[in-house]
Chain A
Amino acid sequence: MSSEIATSIPREERRQGVARRPWRTLAVQLIGPLTIVAGLMWAVAQPYRIVFLDRDGRGLYDYLFQPPLLVVAVGLVFTFVVAPGLVEDLEGEEHRDSPS
Chain B
Amino acid sequence: MIPRAEDAHWLAAAVALFLGLVLIAELIVGREVFRRRAWRAYLFPAAVVVASVGLWVIVVFSTFSTMHLLAHAVWAQAALVAGAVELALVRGKLTSPRWSLVPGVALFVSGFAFLVHEPNPWLYSRSAFLHHAIGWMLVIVALFPLGEALRPRQLVWRTGFALTFVLLAVFLFADRDAAPIFGRFGLGGP
Q: Which residues of A contact B (CB under 8 A)?
A: 24, 27-28, 31-32, 35, 59-61, 64-65, 67, 70-71, 73-74, 77-78, 82-83, 85-86, 89-90, 93
Contact = CB atoms under 8 A, between A and B. Distances in A.
B173 A71 contact: yes
Interface of B: 1, 3-4, 7, 10-11, 13-14, 17-18, 21-22, 24-25, 28-29, 32-34, 36-37, 40, 173
Contacts, number: 64
A67 B13 contact: yes
A47 to B, nearest CB: 14
Given A71-B173, A86-B29, A65 B18 contact: no
A71 B29 contact: no
Contacts of A73: 14
B25 A28 contact: yes
A86 B17 contact: no
Given A61-B4, A65-B3, A89-B37, A70 B28 contact: no
Q: Is the interface of B mostly helix, strand, loop or mixed?
A: helix
A27 B17 contact: no
Nearest to A31: B21
Contacts of A90: 29, 33
